[in-house]
Each structure stands twice: as C-alpha cells, then as structure tokens.
Structure 1
C-alpha cells in the first residue's frame, strides 16, 4: 500500500488524474471503476483538461460506476448517471455506450444486482478502481456491518451516509434510503485501487489502513490488496 499526502485538494486531484491518465495511456481500452461524490470532482476536471490538451483519448475506455441510489431514474439530477455525464462523460470523447451505472429504478433490483455483477465480469474485471471513503469507513455504499458483502447488492444506507448526502437534496426527506452497490469482493478484485480523501477523512483513513481488518470499517479490507494507492490532502 502506498500513501501520498498532498498539500491541498488541487494537488491531490492533479496526482490522481495523472495516475488515471497513465492507466489510459498504458491501456487505451482500460476498464475504470468510477466513484461519485465530492472527492473525485477535481480529479475529473483535470482529466477533462488532459483530454482538451490532446494528452488523453477516451474513445476506447470502458467505465463501471460503484453504485446508484434505488428508485432514481437515469435522468434524475440526483442520480449518479446524471452526475457522471455532467461531471466527466459529456466533456470527453468517451462512448456513452461504454459507460455503465447500476439501474436504480430497475423493476427487479435483485436481478439488477446479478446483471451488474455479470457485466463487470464480462468486461474482464476492473483495471483501476477509484474510491472515496465515508466518515464511517464505507467504500462504495458498503456500510459498516458484520461481514464483507462479496458481490453487487442492495444496501440500507446508514443514517450518517443519509445525513452526509442530504446537502445535495432540497428536502432531506427526499434522500434515498437504499442503494445498489458493488460488493467488497467486486471492488477488491480490481487490479489496481486508488482511494482519494480530503483532510476531513484523515481519522477514518488512518483507522482503515493501520487498524484491524474488520467489516465494521469496510475500507480496512484494502489492506489485503496488493496494489493500493491512497492520496490524502493535508488541507
């Protein structure tokens, strides 16, 4: 495990984008596992800049997102398909047919979990998985629990996660209570993992990488992976 501490969020974003860009240059048809939330926004902006400068070509890249709220359509402005389109995909030359986000409004959510798990496998697995981390140690929407869920599944969101995400909704009561998320087993199968975290996540990051491996701190499982880079900002 490699830990990089940066001076600020912009430096974190630049380094993360350079690592992702390097993966694309090394393997133009890479499968990237993507995250949403505030942490990767700066990284995506720097990837767009690299594309605009002619450094990166996204035309063969495939992407799979970690998760999606249950009940939201692909057009919902609070959904992660909308987030990815407006934050990254619409600004680079990626083929939207090669970008995948769980269907939060699937008629049969359990079947959607099976479909999405198979999709990741059919793509050949994830070359580089980008992660954020919750204050309670969740990665994807894998909340603290008694065991590490292995495959894509439906999860009841912890109240702390609901509270953290309520800032994105006009009415806190509109925040979904369930989500579809890749399982810990799906995530840990990625060939490389890149976790990015702001200074407010320092305490949980330290607990995850230096504490015991336990499903009560889902991110602690990353200690078992052979190729993990963690970038954390000092401010």
Structure 2
C-alpha cells in the first residue's frame, strides 16, 4: 500500500486524474470502477475538464459503479445511476450502454448481484477502481463486520452511514436502509485501487485502514492485502498517521518511472 499525503483536494484530484489518463492513453478500452459520494467529485470534474480541453477519450471505456440503493426508482436524483451520470459519465464521451450499476430495483436481488459480477468478469475485470472511505472505514457499502472475501450483494446500512448520507436526501427518513454493493473480494480483484480521503473526520479511518490490523471492523483495511493500492489523503486526513513522515519521504524520493 502506498500512502501519498498532498496539500488538498485539488492536488489529489489532479494526481488521481493523471493515473486515469495514463491508463486510458495506454489502454483506451480500460475498465473503470466508479465511486459515488462527495469525495471523488473533484476527480470527476478534473477528468471532464481533460476530456473537454485535451480530448481525453472515453469512447471505448467501460465503467462499473460500486453500489446502488435498494428501492429507489432509477430516475431518483440520488440513485447512484443518476449521480454517476450527472457528476461524470454524461460529461465525457462514454457510451451510457457501457456504464453498469447494480440493479437495486430488481425483483430477484441475488440474481441481479450475480449478473453484475458476471458483467465485470466478462469485461475482463476492473483496471482501476476509485474509492472513498466512510468515517467507520467502510468502502463501497461494506459496513464494519463485512466478510473480507465478499462479492456483490445486499447490505443493511448502519445508522451512522445513513446519517452521513442524509445530507444528500434532505432528511434521514428518506435514506434507504439497504444497498447493493460490490464486495470486498470484488474490490480486491481490481488491478489498481485508488482510495481518496479528505478532512479531519476521516483521520481515524485512514489510520485504521493503513496502519491498523486487517480486520472486518475496518473494511478498508483489506486493501493492505492488495498488490497495487494507492491511498491519497490531504493533511487533515493524514493527521493521525504514525508513519506520515515516512510516507512523505517515500513519495518525495519515488523513482519517476514507477508512476502511481
């Protein structure tokens, strides 16, 4: 796991977009894993800017969302299908048919989850997965206690996650109790994972995922087992890291050929 400490979200977005751009330059038909929530929005804006300004091409890209609420209509403004389109895919030249989101409205939820897993496999697997992290260490909607080998499935949200997400809905009562989410085992299959965390409220989660034990109580700690996991954090989110100076030294002296 590589931890990179940067001054703020602008620098984080630029570095993450550099990694996406480098991938698309060498593999135009790459498969991207897309996170939702507020954390990745600066990355999506930077990629949209590069598409418009530099003609960064997404026409052959396939994308898979991390998760979706159960029970929200597909056209609900806070469904992740709509959020992904509004914040990213509608701003670049990716075909809507190439954007896959778990079907939270399916009558047969287990079958829908298996279809999603099959679609990832048929696409050749995810090349680069973007992630945020919750204040309790969840990634996707793999809440504390999630199996480290889990696949795409239905999960019940803990109340802290519902409270964190209520800002998007207006009030807590409107936040669904259930979601479909890629599992931790599914996320680990991605060839490169970039996790982004900003703000002091994420500091404990960042410390737990990077320097704590690998444990279901902090789902993101499973990334310690990934062969190519990159954690991009601002100074506030890095404030509890015991090895912060080492991470800074390592990044400052990283060989240029190594990339992110």
> Over residues 57-76 of structure 1, what are the superposed CA-to-partner deviations in whole Å (9 max), with x where a residue is unaligned?
00000000000000012211
Deviation at 1:39, TM superposition (A): 0.3
Residue 63 of structure 1 pairs with residue 63 of structure 2 = yes
- Which residues of 2 match residues 40-119 of structure 1 at below 5 A? 40-119=40-119
Task: Count residues with an aligned counterpart.
Answer: 235
> Over residues 67-98 of structure 1, what are the superposed CA-to-partner deviations in whole Å (9 max), with x where a residue is unaligned?
00000122110100110111011111111100
Q: Which runs of 5+ in 2 are unaligned?
A: 237-260
2: CA distance, partners of 1:13 / 1:141: 22
> Over residues 5-64 of structure 1, what are the superposed CA-to-partner deviations in whole Å (9 max), with x where a residue is unaligned?
111111111111111111111210000011000000000000001001134100000000
8 Å Cα contact 1:34-1:66 kept in structure 2:
yes
8 Å Cα contact 2:146-2:219 kept in structure 1:
no
1: CA distance, partners of 2:228 / 2:211: 16
**With structure 2 as the length reference, what TM-score do the two structures score?**
0.88
Residue 229 of structure 1 pairs with residue 203 of structure 2 = no
Deviation at 1:149, TM superposition (A): 4.5
Could you tell me which residue of structure 1 aligns to residue 248 of structure 2?
Answer: none
Question: C-alpha root-mean-square deviation of aligned residues, in Å?
Answer: 1.1
Once the two structures are overlaid, the 10-residue window that deviates more, 61-70 or 168-177, is: 168-177
Report which of the two structures shows the higher radius of gyration computed on alpha carbons: 2
Could you tell me which residue of structure 2 aligns to residue 156 of structure 1?
Answer: 156
- Which residues of 2 match residues 1-235 of structure 1 at below 5 A? 1-145=1-145, 147-200=147-200, 201-235=202-236
Q: Give SS of 2:54's match.
A: coil
2: CA distance, partners of 1:206 / 1:88: 29
2: CA distance, partners of 1:175 / 1:209: 30
Runs ≥4 residues deviating over 4 A: none
Q: Give SS of 1:24's match.
A: helix
> Over residues 200-229 of structure 1, what are the superposed CA-to-partner deviations in whole Å (9 max), with x where a residue is unaligned?
312211111111000111000000011011
1: CA distance, partners of 2:12 / 2:46: 11
> Over residues 98-117 of structure 1, what are the superposed CA-to-partner deviations in whole Å (9 max), with x where a residue is unaligned?
01011111111121111111
8 Å Cα contact 2:129-2:190 kept in structure 1:
yes
8 Å Cα contact 1:68-1:103 kept in structure 2:
yes
